[in-house]
Structure 1
Amino acid sequence: MKQILILASGKGTNTAHLIAYFNNKPIARVKAILCNVPHAGVIQVASQAGIPVMLLEKNTFYNTSIYLDLVKKMKPDLIVLAGFLWKIPASWIEAFPRRIINIHPALLPKFGGKGMYGHHVHEAVLQAGEAYSGITIHYVNEEYDAGDIIFQEKVKIEPTDTVETLAQKIHALEYEYYPKVIADLLTQDLAVETTS
């Protein structure tokens, strides 16, 4: 069985959907959740699911290899960012090449980069008068939202849409597609392992 590690900073809605999805699939399981916000909702999500949580402290994360060494011992097949707002250090990307993925609530390369998360993205999309928004699932590299794109799905923006209604549409896409794309990536890995 494949092992998934989730990095999250917020309420944990995507994390909850990922846990539920893989609880019903014999492909993978969520081994642990790493969180950088001490009272984030995702910690409660993890607790209810019986999944261990590691709290990340910023200086240790960026200036030592302590967390990376612990993660290497966990041997994750995939590291999944689910609303994780810190930039991933180069040492992690080198240790897990094309093994760290992120989901972004817009159609990259538009509306990406530092500070572009959550409602900030939806506000920018609406202000720009875009006809569509959507989600982008991509590999993580050393720049914010700049890694190779794995998957995109779009949704039409109606003239009546607000930041809140657009956010709801984007969340629906995230919940539907993020688990499936993760499963596809892990299944591809299984196929490679079986044939090699």
Structure 2
Amino acid sequence: MLRIGVLVSGGGTNLQAIIDKINSGYLKDCSIVTVVSSRPGAYALERANRHGIPAVCIPRKDYAGVDEYDRALIEHFSKYDVDLVVMAGFLSILGETFITRYKNRIINVHPSLIPSFCGKGYYGLIPHIKALEYGVKVTGATVHFVDLEADAGAIILQKAVCVKDDDTPETLQKRVMEEAEWNILPEAIKLFAEGRITVEGRKVRINSGV
């Protein structure tokens, strides 16, 4: 059984996508054992509670620095024997202590085709605003391993989404979530659970599993 810990900060739509894929049987031998929010009142905590998943808020502002926050998260996840950490709309920065502890066991979903429209400050609607300003015809989402540099870890999966002439940042955000994020995040978890991912430097190789 793959024990998953999910980090959230907001509404938890990607958390819901994972829950749905577990309930449908798509994610076999996977269980979300804890959900941690960096913000009190995040609706993602309500989603977790509805499904009987232990959920807690560990606010970033309660800790003097990143290292202290890392240690608090590590202590919490250790209690739940977490195998894989999933960042699903988590807006706080993870430090070297946490990333080293869970090296190649932290994945994040980002709403663009990395390396476009990513990095520090690119969250929420911002990647979509920038994509529309730039005039790209295709955007999408990326699932990647988390490294010290924001959105710079090895890429696991990407899915493209076409940009429409009448798109607003909000309509584009919604379509990227529905067509890309909610599909490739559970898919990446499935590949990890099945032991089909090999990291070779910057490259992720996906094994056939046969």
Give me the TM-score of the superposition, normalised by structure 1.
Answer: 0.91
Q: 1:4 & 1:189 partners in 2: Cα distance? A: 17
Q: Which residue of structure 2 aligns with residue 185 of structure 1?
A: 192
From 53, 56, 78, the equivalent of 1:54 is 56
Question: Aligned residues: percent identity?
Answer: 33
- 5+ residue gaps, structure 1, are 191-196
Q: Which residue of structure 2 aligns with residue 124 of structure 1?
A: 130
Q: Which residue of structure 2 aligns with residue 2 of structure 1?
A: 2
Letter in 2 for 1:21: K
SS at match of 1:94: helix
Q: 1:176 & 1:144 partners in 2: Cα distance? A: 22
Q: Which residue of structure 2 aligns with residue 193 of structure 1?
A: none
1:142-173 alpha-carbon deviations (Å, 9 max, x no partner): 11111111111101112122212211210111
Q: 2:29 & 2:67 partners in 1: Cα distance? A: 34
Q: Which residue of structure 2 aligns with residue 139 of structure 1?
A: 145
Give the length in aligned residue pairs: 190
Give me the TM-score of the superposition, normalised by structure 2.
Answer: 0.85
SS at match of 1:118: coil
RMSD: 1.6
Contact 2:88/2:109 (<8 A) preserved? yes
Q: Which residue of structure 1 aligns with residue 72 of structure 2?
A: 66
How far 1:137 sits from its partner (Å)?
Answer: 0.4
Contact 2:143/2:184 (<8 A) preserved? no
Q: 1:163 & 1:67 partners in 2: Cα distance? A: 33
Pick the structure with more helix per residue: 1
Runs of 4+ in 1 over 4 A off after TM superposition: none
Does residue 33 (structure 1) correspond to residue 39 (structure 2)? The answer is no
How far 1:73 sits from its partner (Å)?
Answer: 3.0
